Amino acid sequence: MVKRGWLRMLSAMLSLMLISGLVGCSASDGIPGGTADGKNSTADISQAANDTERDDSMNTETEAAVALLPTSAPTAEQIAQHEKILLWQEDHIPYLIEDDEKGLLPTIRAYLCEGADTGVVIFPGGGYFQLSDEGEGTEVAKAYNEQGFSAFVVNYRYEPYDGKATLADGLRAIQYVRYFAEDFGLNPDKIAVCGFSAGGHLAVMTAEQSAENIAGDMAGAVRSTPDACVLVYPVTTLGDGTYETMPRIFLGDKQQDADEIAKYSYPYNLSAMPSTFICYSVLDTTVDYQKNSIAFADAMKAIGGDVERVEYTDGTHGGGLGKQFASFSGWHADSVAFLKERGF
């Protein structure tokens, strides 16, 4: 916490120097929340403040030179009580619908495992019109805790929100965990995502799309891409084989736009995908696993990507951990083995 406080003080100093005309710091020159070993020299911070390659989410040609706003750290009580924490500063929530009758707010809950250096960010499913917050959220987080991983349950926004808000929340969740990695006891380069159904689509999109620092704060300037993906009966396309509600909700009035469909389907930027574990049940009649899981895995293999595809002989779509099924219940242990084999 001392280190991050020093970073915030540095940000204030940079702001003062900007006003005095002594130094220019582009909004693309984000200062990350820290390194895995928790050490920052003056040279390190200077480099972080000037190295645009450390933040692929900003555009130096279009952004004005401004100092980044601070990001409020989660409290010890919020972490310990698994409280829902706003992903964005209260006055800087992007794409907010003021008259949203559902009162949806983008939040994250921490389930920490003592001694764990890997964090798994969980995106529950729900077709983008609801959220399976418990069966595909908190229960899964606790299961990862039991296997030595910290986990974070994300309540991203869904209908009446469209994909702009949903994707912004997904990317922000990864940035939030990575920025506060030191507070959570994590290695910022060991942040995986686990997505179910529509949450699987969101997980893929966080790997293939780049974040913009919409809020202009320090958390929004760190890397937004996950270091590994776990996809459970996922939807990976908004085209042929997608789940019926998702193109309408995610794309809004562009649901018939072929370019937009392609942009938010797995082939768009497939080479950006990290190591990926993908699984499903052959009894799934809700999402076409051949056009989603199998097609996605085959495409990754074709370009030399690191992917493991596992199919189970029982289970249903939306089953979460699937403890009642002899075969499907093995997906969680298989995903843990996959991550550990890759150093997580």
- Tens of pLDDT, residues 125-182: 999 999 999 999 999 999 999 999 999 999 999 999 999 999 999 999 999 999 999 9
Residue 54: its pLDDT value, please?
Answer: 32
Residue 67: its pLDDT value, please?
Answer: 81
The residue written with tokens 């003062």 in the block is 16
Residue 78: its pLDDT value, please?
Answer: 97
Same domain, 313 and 174: yes
- Say how many domains are in the chain: 2
| DSSP, residue by residue, 211-259 | ---SS-BSGGGS--S-SEEEEES----SSTT--TTHHHHHHGGGTT-HH
Residues of the chain with pLDDT under 50: 1-65
Q: How far apart are CA 205 and CA 208, in angstroms?
A: 5
Same domain, 150 and 38: no
Residue 66: its pLDDT value, please?
Answer: 57
Same domain, 88 and 1: no
Q: How far apart are CA 169 and CA 240, in angstroms?
A: 26
Residue 264: its pLDDT value, please?
Answer: 98
Look at residues 21, 49, 68 and tell me which one is the last residue of a structural domain: 68
Which domain, by its residues, includes 128?
A: 77-341
Same domain, 56 and 142: no
Same domain, 131 and 229: yes
Q: How far apart are CA 330 and CA 321, in angstroms?
A: 8
Q: How far apart are CA 49 and CA 47, in angstroms?
A: 5
CA distances from 129 to 100, 113, 125, 155, 285 (A): 13, 31, 9, 12, 19
Same domain, 51 and 121: no
Look at residues 51, 68, 85 and tell me which one is the last residue of a structural domain: 68
